[in-house]
Structure 1
Amino acid sequence: MAEVYPWQEGLWSQLAGRPRHAHAYLLHGPAGIGKRAMAERLMAFLLCQSPDGLQACGRCKACMLLSAGTHPDAFVLEPEEADKAIRVDQVRELVGFVVQTAQLGGRKVILLEPAEAMNLNAANALLKSLEEPSGDTVLLLISHQPSRLLPTIKSRCVLQACPLPSESQSLTWLGAALPGSSPEERHELLVLAGGSPLSAKRLEEQSVRQQRADVVDGVKKLLKQQVGASQLAEGWNAVSLILLFDWFSEWAQLMLRYQLTRDEAGLGLADMRKVVQYLADKAPQHKVLAMQDWLLQQRQKVLGKANLNRVLLLEALLVQWASLPGPG
């Protein structure tokens, strides 16, 4: 059974308590807030032969088969490799499942994550099944970036926003999930994860706080001319490109905010606060704006899986970053 997160209880009562279920739901919201767990919990409830109130019983044949991963009327569709596209032939297999008769005589349930991973052909292949699913079939689509979905996909689903937990809920949950961490460490993780507690836990498991500490130390040495851009670029192999571009984009944004407001409370996490303030004071605003535009363009290329030379890209980033102070 999927973990139940406290911030989902209201949404769960709303979903499970529906007198009649839609043929397709699109569960959307930021990554790392438990949408997959919600979808798995709903799948179990919809397939259960003897629901216990608003919960799957966990004891019937359907629940036992689902728990074992062998339920014949459950279908899970994901990219075959992490961060790859969902291909059209995978969706065609799903379409074949939709037209079959339910083997246990109840519903068929499909879970697809992430929906935005479908390429154009795959998304178009899914449309008819979304519009007119065969028999008593429910499709559960999960999206972290619904803006990337075709309007025709979204229009065929019941759109269900999933709540981002409050900071106190997230920190309480992280306290139980990471008992060896300090309150300060949990707060830093939550900020780095954009408020998503599951992502914060994953960042800790991936040693991202240590990676960030190494990056921050490198940036400070770069600005003091104690290390070169090439050396730094080659030394950051363990850090994901998307994380690096997220951090540098955030720092550029904080600089722009400080230049406009002079609000020292808005300088971000303590590890880069003085650096951000220094650069905001020393860099002309047009250079910071140009840097931010470049960072966002390159970030889109990284997200789009463009074939990039990692070291050369990071060298270009660092050379521009080091040139921010002073006229230009």
Structure 2
Amino acid sequence: MPAIPLPFVIALLLLLLTAVISYRQEANLKPKVIFLLSCTCLVVITGLRWIQTIAAIHWLQPIAAACIPPATWYCFALMQQTRLSLWHLSGPLLTLLLLLFRSFWHVPLDILLFGLYTGYGFAVLRILFRNELTLQRVRFSDLDHVNKAAGFAGTLLVFSALIDGLIALDLVGSGGRHTMVILTTAQLLLLPLLSIAVITSSHAVVIDSGEDLAEPGQSKEPDSQENQNIATLIDHLIRQQQLFLDPDLTLNRLARKAGIPARQISAAMNAVHGRNISQLINEYRIEWAKRLLTTTQDPITQIYLASGFQTKSNFNREFSRITNTTPSDYRRSVST
């Protein structure tokens, strides 16, 4: 029975994943498909280099590799904005130009790839150190999950840059004797992991119909009274319309309902309450869950879903943070 090289097995799995996502017509389909197809092309080209000596394959591999960082960024950028600047195509295009004019101007492609993977890796990692404005299109209940996925994806991109540096050292030290082994092993390990991080995080993005509210231009900082007015309005809106029960609630959706730009809402809630908006939304949900725990005999699984949470782990973590007890212990304590 003929053996199938491992790169083609992984490429087949990535294609199956692309087909499943396309068949389900999931939200944010375009960036997922672009990313998965970029990974598939790179894995296939890597596999072909093992069994073929076609010169075109040596050209295609660095171009395909240069597409991975912007494709990864595209998936995470959708959490804040709806369009990707065409400037993000400059990396693959510059790689192509360097290949075309290699005989006249020899610049090591490893340096370019190192810069691309490092730059985009740290750009994704920035999500961990910014407030919820960076993720204003993400469900409040999924913010922690997306932060972890961004940290994982950013770390993988930076690690890929280190691999490119290791390949450059191998080219200098041993004439590239170990380059193919290093490159293939790294790609076969990193691309599936990167795919998992990107695809799982993109499920948390909610695409609403309609345009986002325009952010105001440069203006003076709102005073404490203005922040208090915004916080009071948001609190009234959330309670009156029970927006916290919507599991798909995002900062963008809340801003549109309130008619106030997301940046002003975030700043006001932080200034008045000393906590970010996602923590406050979870507090509304826990307050509702406590009422259900004391007035009904519904199972906890049904209660956390009815309170706007999507996972039991997130519900238990937030319940414990706010009440310093578990849902089961809370129900027992109020019933005795």
TM-score (structure 2 length as normaliser): 0.24
Instruction: Report the structure, 1 or 2, having the larger strand content.
Output: 1
The structure where helix makes up a greater share of residues is: 2
